[in-house]
Amino acid sequence: MATMADKDQSAETTTGDAGSNATPPSPPPPPSEAPESPRIKTDIEKILKGIKLPERRGEVPKKPIQATPLTVPEVLSSPEMTKPAHEETSPVVALHTLKDDLQNVVKDQHLSVVRAVSMEQDKKALSPRVDESAGKIQRNKRIFGILFASGVLVVLGLAALLGVFLVMQGNRPSATPQYASLVFAEQTYTLPVNGVSPSDLKRQIALAENSGTGALGSITRLIPVVTSNPVDTNPQTRQGTAAEFLLSLGVHAPDGLLHALQGDVFFGIHTVDKNAPVIVMPITAYDHAFAGMLAWESTMDADLAPIFPAVSPFSTDANGIPQARLFTDLVMRNYDARALKDDAGNIVLYYSFPTPDLLVIGQSPYTFTEILSRLQSARRL
């Protein structure tokens, strides 16, 4: 390349020297102009006016030839290394990947790529365990919350049930023991007879009779209850017998009648046109029972008042003469009966033996019909 440069320089020098010593050539003689006719000249002028000829430019100066330098400038050494002064910011952000993390770890901590990859694998192996432990803890917390809420609801429900049970126990009347009954009754109540005077006991029965709220045609039973060892901490109660019930009322019944009675007594209040009392007692000896009832007729009405209506022991005949009020014979539902009537002729008290082993004492004839019907249903007739 140095030789070619030397040759170029020597050529330029020779050319310069030759130009300076040579004489410039004389211009050629102008061509002889032929005479033009006026017509042709006019046509040429018209043509020139219609045609716009380009202007003549001046001569462009020639640039001198520069020598090629032997050294390459540093600026032109690598066009890829040149950086623009102002780079435009792209709206798209580069994605941060695992490769970038590995490069940063290798660069910052001066670790090998193998070591960095191994550490990343250990981290991945540990992360599922941590996630699993966190999920298990969260699941256990959720289960504990559900169980705790369920337990609270169960406790509240049991408390509510206990409260309802206690309220119902407080409002409910005392439970009536199941005692055998000669006649079916729609309602049953107990009637303690221990330690109660005959007058108070009859007054209680009359009050229950007058305040009865049974349905029409129903019978409400009152069970005389006798308490054994009332001073004991655990007293025993039982149903009173027919004889005990009559004695608790303070009646003056003959001993033959009391001995002829056996077993339990049925005392009820029948709801018809009025609340009518009725007594049904089983007997063992019909003749002794019938004789005892005949002997008791003189004081029966007074002994059973006010349970049964009380009437005067005397009545007047057609002539207005007073006489003793007596029981008379009559037939009720094809059964023989003895009845006591008031001055108007209404039955206030009667008794009958529908069977040789049953004694019925009542006030209303409708009650006698109902008792017979229920005894037939119980196969006692």
219-243 tens-digit pLDDT: 999 999 998 776 666 778 889 999 9
Maximum pairwise Cα distance, the chain: 209
Q: Kindly state the average pLDDT of the residues 203-219.
A: 88
Which of 50-59, 126-135, 224-233, 238-247 has the highest average model confidence (pLDDT)?
238-247
CA angle, residues 146, 152, 157, in degrees to nearest 5: 125
pLDDT recorded at residue 255? 94
pLDDT, residue 35, reads 52
Burial class (CB in 10 A: 0-12, 13-18, 19+), 246: buried
* Domain parsing of the chain, residue ranges: 98-172, 187-377
Range name among 64-78, 165-179, 301-315 with the lowest pLDDT average:
64-78
Tokens 């330029």 label which residue? 12
d(CA 162, CA 185): 33
What's the pLDDT score for residue 127? 62
Indicate the range of 320-324, 327-331, 337-341 predicted with least confidence.
Answer: 320-324
Average pLDDT estimate for 365-378: 95
More confident residue, 212 or 156: 156
pLDDT at residue 66 greater than cutoff 80: no
Pick the most confident of 44-53, 211-220, 251-260.
Answer: 251-260
Q: In this model, does residue 141 exceed pLDDT 50?
A: yes
Contacts of 145 (CB under 8 A, 6+ apart): none
Averaged pLDDT, 298-315: 94
Q: Exposed, middle or buried by CB within 10 Å (0-12, 13-18, 19+), for 368?
A: buried
The closest alpha carbon to 275, from 225, 245, 309, 251, belongs to: 309
State the pTM of this model. Answer: 0.55
